Structure 1
């Protein structure tokens, strides 16, 4: 198991497909086989690529959660294996936006994703975003890992 001290932005950016400013997470603070917790500060950046005008709507927090799920997949992949399979976020259910925007949140975002079901190529996560103990967003997300079926790519 990798030590969280080494799971910073540089590590994350080399292990998920999101590059440059689209890599939104700053570090992993804890993880195990079922859960991951990450921190992000990019919601406060005026150059955040998810902003619309001058706002970063709370629904954009779903992308933060999806990136935490991608990091979780990378951490669970065997070290000597090929890169983890690409996944697609195929549905979000039961999402509740507890605030209207993220860009005016002064505290760092605390993103948590918990795997509540996994069956081969499909994973269901429960996710939450908090800041300074305040719940901002929660919901469930389904990820499909056999992305080659969707894209028509062959392995």
Structure 2
């Protein structure tokens, strides 16, 4: 079942133009695949005068992780705020994201979780070509620490 931008915007804290994802194409307990075309918008909120740097892809991945958390948390459970605390092993294959010729496929895979932190692997592809990949750690409910 595909979920749209409206669903995403009501389930993650990113609002307005900062809600970068347009769809959830697939998901299960450990994986999510989201789609986006906002990287090509000339008024993208993260774009500089030179363009949209490839590192903005980390924000796309973080939003996919947030959506995955919303989808895998029981509705009866209180929503948990997550904070991206570490990004590692990031590799990019081009300097700019805005030049990617087509919709982004934003993949995130939950690699481990212990109730307080979640480790995700992520990658962003366009037409099967990898643009960016890495790992990210999310701390849940950090305000309680």
TM-score interval, smaller chain:
over 0.9
Task: Indicate whether 1:68 and 2:35 are aligned.
Answer: no
Separation of aligned partners in 2, 1:81 and 1:119: 17
Instruction: Trace 1:6-25 onto structure 2 (pairs within 5 A).
Output: 7-25=3-21
Structure 1, unpaired ranges of 5+ = 151-155
* TM-score normalised according to structure 1 size: 0.90
Pairing partner for 2:84 from 89, 93, 110: 89
Across the aligned residues of Structure 1 and Structure 2, the Cα RMSD in angstroms comes to 1.0
The alpha carbon displacement at 1:105 in A equals 1.2
Separation of aligned partners in 2, 1:41 and 1:54: 19
* TM-score normalised according to structure 2 size: 0.96
Pairing partner for 2:34 from 34, 38, 49: 38
The structure with the largest strand share of the pair is 2
Separation of aligned partners in 2, 1:63 and 1:149: 24
The alpha carbon displacement at 1:148 in A equals 1.1
CA contact (8 A) 1:46 1:54 kept: no
The alpha carbon displacement at 1:54 in A equals 4.0
Please list the CA deviations of residues 116-137 of structure 1 after superposition, one character each: whole Å capped at 9, or x if unmatched: 0100110000000000111000
